[in-house]
Every structure is written in structure tokens, then in C-alpha cells.
Chain A
Amino acid sequence: GAVVSQHPSWVICKSGTSVKIECRSLDFQATTMFWYRQFPKQSLMLMATSNEGSKATYEQGVEKDKFLINHASLTLSTLTVTSAHPEDSSFYICSASFGVGDQPQHFGDGTRLSIL
């Protein structure tokens, strides 16, 4: 079945550093990938939609300069949290859909980000 791989699964870093999270579609080409954020015991919140070869579309309230998204190929999208602070600590999850037309999203296993 479709597999979405996310790396790293867990990262701890100091406040002020930038952190890059990778999302790969392993056995299919993903024109569109999605980035979500999830707080404990809450549902997923869509941050941005990433389209290969074009600028990402950010949801209202999400700082595009804070959360940089690059979708340079059909199998890789990256999310960089710039100058991370403790309030950026969260569970970040990517997803991708494959095939033509409407298809459901398949999710990676998430990245737990802890900013000290």
C-alpha cells in the first residue's frame, strides 16, 4: 500500500535553532502534500498545502516565514521551523495523496518536536 515516510520521528533542540522535517512518498508520486500540527489529545490542524514546484498555501494564522515549506520533487516535501521556540513544540504530521482525481490522504508517522 501507499507509504509516507517522515523523518526525524523525534527531535529535541534548543530555542532559537531551526529544524527541518522531511516527508517522502515512498512508492508513489505525490503532487500535493499536506502539513498538519497536532497538540496532545486534540485533532489535526492543517497548516499548509504543499504543491510540487510552486509555493505552499498556508492556512489562516500560520506564519509562512516561521514555517517554511519546500516541495522540490514529487516525492519530497520539507517543513522547516525557523528560530524555534518552546511554543512551537508539537507533533507535526505530513500527508500525501496519490493518483489522479480525488484520493484520500495517507499520513506519515509524525515528528515530535520539543524545543527547550
Chain B
Amino acid sequence: QKEVEQDPGPLSVPEGAIVSLNCTYSNSAFQYFMWYRQYSRKGPELLMYTYSSGNKEDGRFTAQVDKSSKYISLFIRDSQPSDSATYLCAIGFNDMRFGAGTRLTVKP
């Protein structure tokens, strides 16, 4: 079993839709949870990080962590074509573990 499971997609949505991206993890020892966005041929860009259960909001993005279920989510409201990218969940800091990444396409 992988430490972080993430559906690789691809996921295609119309512009303006709410996008839900999800990951599960197996090791409850990890305390930090991140979401990165990676455009083609670029390095990952940190979107959000949190270390507690609950929601964290930043503009159109909301990160949600449920430690009891070992489940993390990223919601994107009013999705835009510029949001088209691969979204990677990650857990841990110095010993970070990545999900496979979900490829998202937002169609105009």
C-alpha cells in the first residue's frame, strides 16, 4: 500500500465548476499536509499547507484535513482555465511523501 493515494485522473470540468481533489494516507504519524500545483515542465508550486484537522481557506482554494479518516481534500471554487495543471498532495515536511498527482483540465 502506498503511503499516499491520489487518483491520477485526468479530471475535466467546465469553467466555473467546483473542483474536488482528494488523497488518503496511511501513516497517522505525519502531521503536515500540503497541496502543490504543477504546470507542465515546471516545478511544483506550494498552494496551501496545514497541520491540523479542519478547513483552511485561501481565496478560491480550500484545504480540508480529516485526520481521523486520514483523508485530505482540496476544493477549487469558480475554477478557471488557468487552474489547469497537475495537483499534488503531500504529507510531512522534511520527509515529504507525494501523491501521484491529479491532472486537471478546466475547459472554457
Contact = CB atoms under 8 A, between A and B. Distances in A.
B98 interface: yes
A75 interface: no
Contact of B101 (A43, A93, A97): A43
A97 B98 contact: no
A60 interface: no
B34 interface: yes
- Size class of the B contact interface (CB-based, 8 Å): 20 to 34
Interface string A15-55: 00000000000000000101000000111101001000000
A106 interface: yes
Interface stretch (B38-46, B63-71, B74-82): B38-46
A105 B101 contact: no
B44 A107 contact: yes
B98 A44 contact: yes
Interface residues of A, number: 24
A112 interface: yes
Contacts of B94: 32, 49, 97, 102
B81 to A, nearest CB: 21
A61 interface: no
Contact of B32 (A46, A93, A95, A102): A102
Given A49-B94, A97-B93, A102-B32, A44 B49 contact: no
Given A91-B41, A97-B93, A106-B46, 18 more contacts: A42-B100, A43-B101, A44-B44, A46-B96, A93-B44, A95-B43, A97-B94, A102-B31, A102-B32, A102-B93, A103-B93, A104-B32, A104-B34, A105-B46, A105-B93, A107-B36, A107-B45, A110-B43
Interface of B: 8, 31-32, 34, 36, 41-46, 49, 51, 88, 93-94, 96, 98-101, 103
